[in-house]
Amino acid sequence: MPLRWRKTGSAAQPPPPVDPDPDIMAPAPVRSAAWAQRSPQQRVKHGLVDLSSWTVRVLIIGAGLIALFWVMGWLWSILLPIFLGLLLSTVLWPPTRFLRRWLPPALAAILSVLALFAFVIGIVVLLLPQVRDQADDLVNQAANGLSTVQAWIEGPPLNLSTDTLSDLVDQGISQLRDNGQVIAAYVVSSLGTIGSAIITLVLALVLTFFFLKDGPRFLPWLRQWIGDGAGSHFTELSQRVWKALGQYVWSQAAVAAVDGIFIGLGVWLLGVPFAIPIAVLTFFGGFIPIVGAFTAGTIAVLVALVSNGLWTAVGVLVIVLVVQQLEGNVMQPILVGKTLKMHPAVVLTVVALGGTLFGIIGAFLSVPAVAVFQVVARYLREQIGAAPDPEDTDADADSDADSDDDRPDQPGDAGRPKPTPAAGTA
C-alpha cells in the first residue's frame, strides 16, 4: 500500500462550542431551492410520480405475499410437520443437551421424546377418570338447565307454547334427516382429517428426533455445501431463528401455565366440576394468543352455568377476566412482548388470518411464524445497513493515498522526502 503523507505543523484550533440561546427557536426546515423553483403543476406531477412508485411497490409486495401463501398452501403437508418438529425441538432441546453430557446423542434424543409421550399419556390418564365420574352429573345438570330454559321461553315476554317448541324441534329433526348424506360425508371427511393429523404428528415426532440427534451437525454440513459466504449468513440467521422460537415457546408456556393454574384454582374453589380438565384446556389454549384463552374461558363459564347456575357462572367470568387482565397487562408484555414486540391488534389479525387459511393449526402456528419472519427481516435490515466491506475500505484508502501523492506541495512540506512508490507501480 503506498505511503500516506503525515500532516505536520501547527493547525488552527477550532473555536470553542457555543451553547445556543434556549430562547431562540431553531429555524423551520425549508424546501430545497430546486423545489421552490418548481411550478404547482410540476409539484403535483412529482407527487403523482412518487405515489405511483409506492403503489407499484405495494402491489409487488402484495403479489409476493399472495404467491408465498399459495406456495405454503401447496406444500402445507410438508411444511407443517417440519415446523411442528422445530417447535417440539425447542422445547426438548434443554433436557436433551443435559442428557448428552453422559449419553450418546441418539439415546438422549429418544429419552426426551419418550418423556414427552409420558407427559401426554399422564395427562390423559389423569383426566379420563374425572371426566367419566363427573359426566353423569353434568348431563343431569344440563337437563335441569334445559328445563329452566324451556320454562323461561314459555313465560313472558316470549310466551311461546309447548306446541311451538315441539314444531321447532320437529323442523330441526327433519333438517337433519334431509341433510343426512351431507352429514355422513362430513363425518367421513373428518375421519380422513383425523388420520392425516395422526400421520402429520408421527412425522413431526420423527423429525423432532433427528433434529435433537443431529441438530448441532446440521449447520456445518449445510455450510459445507452452500459455501462459506452464504453459509455464514445462513448459520447466523438459523441461530437467531432457533433462539427466537425457543424464547417464544417457553415464554408462552409460562403465560399459559399461569392462566391454567389460576383459572383452574378459581373454578375448583367455586365448586364447578371438571376443574382440572378446564385448567388443562386453558393451558393448551394459551398457546393460541388471545383466541385460545378466550375460548377456554368461555367453556369454563358455560360449564359453570350448566352445573352450578347463573351466579357461579358470573363468578367464573370475573375470575377469567381478572386472569386475562393479568396476562395481557403483566405477563404478555414482560415475557412474550420482549420476544415478539408485536401490538395485540397485530397478533389478533395474524391469528385470524392463520385460522382462516389453515384452520386451528394455522392459528396455533401463525404467531411463531411471524416471529421467524421478524427475525429474518431484522437480519436483512442489519445487512443492508451494515458497514462497508473491509476490502472496499482498503481500496478507498489506497485511492485517497494516491490522491495525496498527486497533490501539490503544501506549506510545511519543505525538506520532507517523497514516498517511494511500491514495486510494480508506475
Q: Own/partner pairs for 396-402, CB < 8 Å, 24+ apart?
A: 397/1, 398/1, 398/2, 400/4, 401/1, 401/2, 401/3, 401/4, 402/2
Of 56, 74, 92, the residue at which a domain comes to its end is 74
In this prediction, residue 339 carries a pLDDT of: 66
In this prediction, residue 369 carries a pLDDT of: 81
Residue 420: inside a domain, yes or no? no
Residue 137: inside a domain, yes or no? no
**Treating both helix axes as pointing N-terminal to C-terminal, what angle do 180-226 and 76-99 enclose, rounded to 10 degrees?**
60
Residue 54: inside a domain, yes or no? yes
Q: Give how many domains the chain has, as a whole number.
A: 2
Letter for the amino acid at 362? Answer: G
Residue 141: inside a domain, yes or no? no
Closest-CA residue to 209 (of 100, 96, 110, 82): 110
Alpha-carbon span 41 to 31, nearest angstrom: 17
Residue 57: inside a domain, yes or no? yes
Residue 337: inside a domain, yes or no? yes
Alpha-carbon span 294 to 83, nearest angstrom: 25
Domain region containing 65: 43-74
Which residues, including other chains, have CB under 8 Å from residue 208's CB and lie 6 or more apart? 84, 85, 88, 89, 92, 113
What separation in angstroms does the CA of 99 have from each of 121, 141, 156, 250, 340? Answer: 22, 50, 68, 19, 30
Residue 239: inside a domain, yes or no? yes
Q: Which three cell numbers stand for residue 217?
A: 451437525
What DSSP assignment string belongs to 133-155?
A: HHHHHHHHHHHHHHHHHHHHHHS
Residues of 182-206 as b/e, b for ≥16 C-beta within 10 angstroms? eeeeeeeeeeeeeeeeeebeebbbe
Which residues, including other chains, have CB under 8 Å from residue 317's CB and lie 6 or more apart? 297, 301
In this prediction, residue 140 carries a pLDDT of: 64
Other Cβ atoms less than 10 A from the Cβ of 378: the count is 14
Of 54, 74, 94, the residue at which a domain comes to its end is 74
In this prediction, residue 168 carries a pLDDT of: 67
In this prediction, residue 220 carries a pLDDT of: 75
Other Cβ atoms less than 10 A from the Cβ of 325: the count is 10
Alpha-carbon span 166 to 94, nearest angstrom: 60
What separation in angstroms does the CA of 237 have from each of 196, 245, 376, 382? Answer: 32, 12, 7, 11
Residue 379: inside a domain, yes or no? yes
In this prediction, residue 149 carries a pLDDT of: 65
Which residues, including other chains, have CB under 8 Å from residue 336's CB and lie 6 or more apart? 248, 251, 252, 255, 289
Half-sphere exposure of 169 (CA within 13 A, CB side): 7
Name the residue with cell 408465498.
Answer: 68
CA dihedral 133, 136, 140, 145 (to 10 degrees): 70
Q: What is the pTM of this model?
A: 0.59
* pLDDT by 10s per residue, the chain, length 426: 444 444 444 444 555 555 555 444 444 444 556 666 666 777 677 778 778 888 888 888 888 878 877 887 787 778 888 888 888 888 888 888 888 888 888 888 889 888 888 888 888 787 777 766 666 666 666 666 666 666 666 666 666 666 666 666 667 666 656 665 665 566 556 556 677 777 888 888 888 888 888 877 777 777 777 766 777 777 788 788 888 888 888 888 888 888 888 888 888 888 888 788 888 888 887 777 666 777 888 888 888 887 777 788 888 889 888 888 777 677 766 666 666 667 667 777 777 787 777 777 777 777 788 888 888 888 888 877 754 444 444 444 454 444 444 444 444 444 444 544 444 444
What separation in angstroms does the CA of 92 have from each of 70, 80, 257, 284? Answer: 32, 18, 17, 17
Reduce the DSSP state of residue 158 to 3 states and report it: coil
